[in-house]
């Protein structure tokens, strides 16, 4: 009897887990966006790679839980994922291609990761024109930040940043504006970068570049089959079979078509009476369609309610849009800023200009204090020698 009960229990439990396993598998109708994979004719099975960055990853969660791969029969296709988060570019991969002018300093000083080497542009050559330099990053990256460090005596008034995959396809990333040590932007694929500077006595100590997130999906493609990437929306199921920590450099890349609406996705996903294409919050029900900043993104899903940002860039995925985020690369939903300097507490110690100035002034104070103490000690020794105090102390010891 006991064996019978145990076997029935085991059967019920296995049935429960199997049902839930099937229930967990997403359908091709669960994702709002799709991109078809463009494959060359295959003679046999082959492993291929999809490269994802920029606007695609803006719609995919950081857990990669709302993206999946399907074939033309709307069956899931197993894939392996490589996901690279925001990080600093290695300086050894950056090469200075050209500069507008040069004094005696080697151009390598511009990107040598050494704050004690300074590159000086030649004002006699540049005149009233901009001083500029062009970088080759070695390969294309999704760039999100550039830091420009200058000595205090350098007077840089304006900066402009351009970039592109080729030297002939450069586009403006940051339009000409007042100098700041840090510039944030969102560029999907940049290999060459041109930085233009206006001012007097232009010098730079160093630069730092940060790349945004990127991902690669590896899967086995079969002859005569078609594939599509489905992504976006509210699905929260991890479907990759493995996440690798290293790129697979020998796997060939394949292209994808432009983004389009998934025809299988419900026309009014949130059921608020507005079709997805006409809904300013297609995945959150908002019948009133309130949009305070008139950027066509409803308040209920806008990550910067009072500032226009239709692209909704949120590089660090903290729920606060880049346009208002005081720590764009470090998650800080609370936006705490104790010293009201415009840099959130989460990144203030590492990045704020005030801190470097404070450290500089503290070091000067320390030097001043040490100098003062030294002078006092010398004065005491001189007085002691003058009045024979040292000799008397020596005699007492004898």
Q: Of 64, 83, 318, 351, which is closest to residue 215 (Cα–Cα)? A: 83
pLDDT at 242 exceeding the cut of 50: yes
Q: Of 29, 23, 24, 54, which is closest to residue 230 (Cα–Cα)? A: 29
Describe the chain by its helix, strand, coil percentages, rounded to 5.
25, 30, 45
What DSSP state is assigned to residue 275? -
- Mean pLDDT, the chain, rounded, equals 86
pLDDT-derived band at 395 (thresholds 50, 70, 90) equals low
pLDDT at 333 exceeding the cut of 90: yes
88 forms bridges with which residues in the sheet?
210
Element holding 163 (H helix, E strand):
strand 155-164
The model's pLDDT over 202-238, given as tens digits with 9 standing for 90+, comes to 999 999 999 999 999 999 999 999 999 999 999 999 9
Instruction: Say what the pLDDT of residue 359 is.
Output: 41
> pTM for this structure?
0.73
Contacts of 325 (CB under 8 A, 6+ apart): 314, 315, 316, 318, 332, 335, 344
Region 283-311 average pLDDT: 95
In angstroms, the CA 71 to CA 28 distance is: 10
């Amino acid at each position: 009897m006991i064996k019978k009960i145990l076997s029935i229990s085991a059967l019920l439990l296995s049935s429960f887990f199997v049902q839930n396993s099937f229930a967990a598998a997403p359908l091709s109708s669960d994702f709002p966006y799709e991109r078809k994979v463009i494959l060359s004719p295959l003679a046999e099975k082959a492993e291929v790679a999809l490269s994802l960055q920029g606007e695609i990853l803006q719609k995919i969660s950081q857990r990669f839980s709302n993206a999946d791969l399907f074939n033309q029969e709307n069956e899931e296709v197993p894939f392996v994922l490589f996901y690279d988060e925001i990080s600093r570019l290695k300086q050894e991969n950056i090469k200075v291609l050209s500069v507008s002018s040069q004094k005696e300093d080697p151009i390598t000083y511009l990107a040598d990761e050494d704050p004690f080497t300074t590159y000086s542009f030649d004002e006699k050559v540049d005149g009233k024109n901009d001083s500029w330099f062009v970088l080759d990053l070695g390969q294309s990256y999704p760039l999100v930040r550039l830091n420009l460090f200058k000595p205090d005596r350098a007077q840089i008034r304006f900066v402009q940043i351009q970039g592109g995959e080729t030297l002939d396809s450069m586009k403006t990333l940051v339009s000409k504006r007042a100098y700041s040590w840090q510039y944030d932007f969102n560029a999907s694929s940049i290999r060459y970068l041109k930085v233009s500077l206006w001012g007097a006595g232009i010098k730079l100590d160093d630069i730092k570049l940060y790349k945004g997130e990127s991902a690669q999906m590896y899967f086995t493609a079969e002859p005569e089959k078609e594939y599509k990437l489905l992504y976006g929306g509210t699905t929260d199921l991890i479907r990759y079979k493995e996440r690798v920590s290293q790129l697979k450099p020998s796997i060939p890349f394949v292209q994808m078509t432009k983004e389009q609406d998934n025809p299988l996705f419900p026309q009014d996903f949130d059921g608020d009476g507005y079709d997805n294409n006409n809904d300013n919050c297609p995945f959150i029900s908002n019948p009133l369609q309130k949009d305070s900043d008139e950027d066509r993104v409803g308040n209920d899903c806008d990550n910067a309610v009072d500032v226009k940002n239709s692209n909704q860039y949120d590089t660090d995925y903290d729920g606060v849009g880049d346009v208002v985020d005081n720590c764009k690369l470090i998650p800080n939903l609370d936006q705490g800023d104790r010293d009201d300097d415009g840099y959130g507490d989460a990144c203030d110690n590492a990045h704020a200009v005030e801190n470097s100035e404070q450290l500089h002034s503290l070091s000067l104070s320390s030097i001043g204090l040490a100098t003062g103490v030294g002078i006092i000690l010398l004065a005491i020794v001189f007085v002691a020698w003058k009045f024979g105090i040292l000799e008397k102390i020596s005699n007492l010891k004898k």
